[in-house]
Structure 1
């Protein structure tokens, strides 16, 4: 891992000149990785990105350098930061899990958020609700470390450095602003069911809407929601998601993890047929009730406000917009041996490692 060098100056040089690799498999990972890229660059590091599958062809702005598989291997990065549930283990460097969302209980723990695949050295968790289960798993498995850093994706939620949230809010002209987001999972998606109800709300014009869909939603659904854009609505892309969350007053969604991201701000959320409704959600099942539910969200009572605060503190209590810096510090501590000695990865992970090589077509060292 991290080779010690004789003098303090040499050690600083080693860290400053380090190369890091960002890895993604879907476009929705880009807003997770961008704040981390910015933080790494601010510290003088070389930042490279390798995107595959659904993220292939996407880019992060310069000076991030986009690379392919062979370049990623030759780079020999100090660490690989993954916003996917897997990572190419044949690339050098510490393997750091950043997560691609919050735990929204779409699946059982064994198959979902808390599944350990034997691929990562460090899990950078978002808050106590994620940290405590992973620390219990780390104590049992002993082949990875866990540090509660907060989530890089939410750094801009608390720091509108580029004014993007203000720009999204400007066309509202002072009207209340509602954001709509939906998962792609067909059995959980609100998008097909709420289209007409949302269209009626947009047509009324008393509120302004920011509309977005998961990148995997059907193209015909994208076309229908894009068609609602006009004087009272805008369609936003995945890369604008966090800015939209900061801009909006209320969220309308389903079982998407955007619900948790939004609640971190302690703002009200209305959910349609959520798989596991919680006290901080205003959940409903009939599209005809949408106007009523929005009215409740824009006038939250004390009970709802308390539930929002409790849930926000459980999943992401850090509100300083500095999670990326904590991820980097946690990685440096791991590489310096400050997280103790980790066991070798379990033999049970060998099959998954071979699958990754086969899927990516790499049979080198």
Structure 2
């Protein structure tokens, strides 16, 4: 059966709570619309800006609206989603597993929280652990599809360029997570300020949306002809514009690696051989210089890691997600009941102010 044609007349909801989710789900939206399906968006909370919706994108404003529209499937780039919504819940991930551990020493990326019916995994290193959880728990299905957010990364489509073609300097992209414990922003301010003053590289900077405003403003103040601070809901053009990245533990570094470009990390929690990790702030500049030579052994390690992380470079992950979702919808596969999780669901109902049963 052609599961793409099964898209016609079906309804798909994009459920998001962060601005970066627009770029994750829009390639999937494009596939749905191209095959005759309908798409609506629901924006949860104050961290997502409705101004990023286009005039052609339909927004649902309440949980009542979602029930009335009655989607066949809901896509969420998140760890959690309310289970009291109609339709099958499909997890598409908000990023890659960058090896971050919580304060209990656990990897939050590889947890099933009783919310989703289908996990569309990115590559073997997410498929294997989630398949083990599927076998153990039995209330969801796992299909490896690749990640929709990367489709545009691998397609030769025009994107915004942050690079001046007349400027021959290498381009350094600096990204950081928001956690004070993990972020490079407070630890490398002196070095990055110096980089912005010397002009050795063209520097682009982008922070996680939850970065404290104090550090956003401090780095914005460094902006000059050598350093550009960028706030955007679409990181793909940034990734394409740079030659090398400086990062910490943010999962955006893995998206950059998939271009087969080197990443220098500062105090990374999981510093394996596909990264150039440093723990001494005074050695960051030398590591960046080394990365810009694209060392052969490092590039071989990056290639091996990418095959585990996301083996697809065809720009068709959105299509695979849609096929997997439609196949799941039509299969009527019998799964175990999800755990009730009364406390979590109560918190979600309170957050969304929805008390109908």
Taking a change above 3 Å as real, the CA distance of residues 115 and 286 of structure 1, as seen in their structure-2 partners, is same
Match of 2:304 among 301, 307, 310: 310
- The 3-state SS of whatever aligns with 1:234 is strand
Which residue among 38, 53, 60 is the counterpart of 2:45?
Answer: 53
> Paired residue for 1:65?
58
Alignment of 1:167-206 (within 5 A): 167-170=161-164, 173-206=167-200
Aligned length: 352
Q: Equivalences for 1:26-175 in 2 at 5 Å?
A: 26-58=18-50, 59-69=52-62, 70-107=64-101, 112-164=108-160, 167-170=161-164, 173-175=167-169
Matches of 2:354 and 2:57 in 1, distance apart?
24
Distance in structure 2 (CA, Å) of the matches to 1:28 and 1:56: 8
In structure 2, do the counterparts of structure 1 residues 43 and 162 end up closer, same or farther at CA, with 3 Å as the change threshold? farther
Q: Residues 268, 144 of structure 1: CA spacing in aligned structure 2 closer, same or farther, 3 A cutoff?
A: same
- Helix, strand or coil for the counterpart of 1:113? helix
SS of the residue corresponding to residue 222 of structure 2 reads coil
CA deviations over 1:316-337 (Å, ceiling 9, x no partner) = 0101111111111100000011
C-alpha displacement at 1:171, in angstroms?
Answer: 5.9
Give, in angstroms, the shift of residue 26 of structure 1. Answer: 1.8
The alpha-carbon distance between structure 1 residues 75 and 14, as it changes in their structure 2 partners (threshold 3 A), is farther
C-alpha distance in structure 2 between counterparts of 1:308 and 1:110, whole Å: 25
Cα contact 1:179–1:211 (8 A) shared by 2: yes
Please list every run of 5 or more consecutive structure 2 residues that lacks an aligned counterpart in the other structure: none
TM-superposed CA distance for 1:39, in Å, is 2.1
Please say if residues 188 and 254 of structure 1, whose CA atoms lie closer than 8 Å, have aligned partners that are also in contact: yes
> In the superposition, relative to structure 1, how do residues 222 and 251 fare at CA in structure 2: closer, same or farther (>3 Å)?
same
State the TM-score, normalizing by the size of structure 2. Answer: 0.93
- Distance verdict in 2 for CA 1:137–1:215, change over 3 Å: same
Give the secondary-structure state (helix, strand or coil) at the position aligned to 1:265: coil
Indicate if the aligned counterparts of 2:4 and 2:322 stay in contact, CA closer than 8 A: no
> 1:256 matched to which residue of 2?
250
The 3-state SS of whatever aligns with 1:321 is coil
Measure the CA separation in 1 of the matches of 2:321 and 2:342. 27
Unaligned runs of 5+ in 1: 1-7
The TM-score, its normalising length taken from structure 1, stands at: 0.91
Alignment correspondent of 2:16: 24
Deviations 1:224-283 (A, max 9, x none): 212222322222223131211122110100011011111111210000011111101111
**Equivalent-residue separation in structure 2 for 1:169 and 1:125 (angstroms):** 33
> 1:203 offset after TM fit, Å?
2.0
Contact 1:73–1:90, Cα closer than 8 Å, also in 2: no
User: Which of the numbers 237, 241, 245 marks the counterpart of 1:243?
Assistant: 237
Match of 1:278 among 258, 266, 272: 272
RMSD after superposition: 2.1
Structure 2 vs 1, CA of residues 57 and 201 (structure 1 numbering), >3 Å: closer, same or farther? closer
SS of match in other structure, 2:325: helix
The C-alpha deviation readout for 1:317-362, integer Å capped at 9, x for no partner, is 1011111111111000000117x42122134x34322332222111
Determine helix, strand or coil for the equivalent of 2:164: helix
8 Å contact kept, 2:7–2:35: no
- Name the CA distance, whole Å, in 1 between partners of 2:138 and 2:188: 46
Counterparts of 1:270-349 in structure 2, within 5 Å, are 270-337=264-331, 340-347=333-340, 349=341
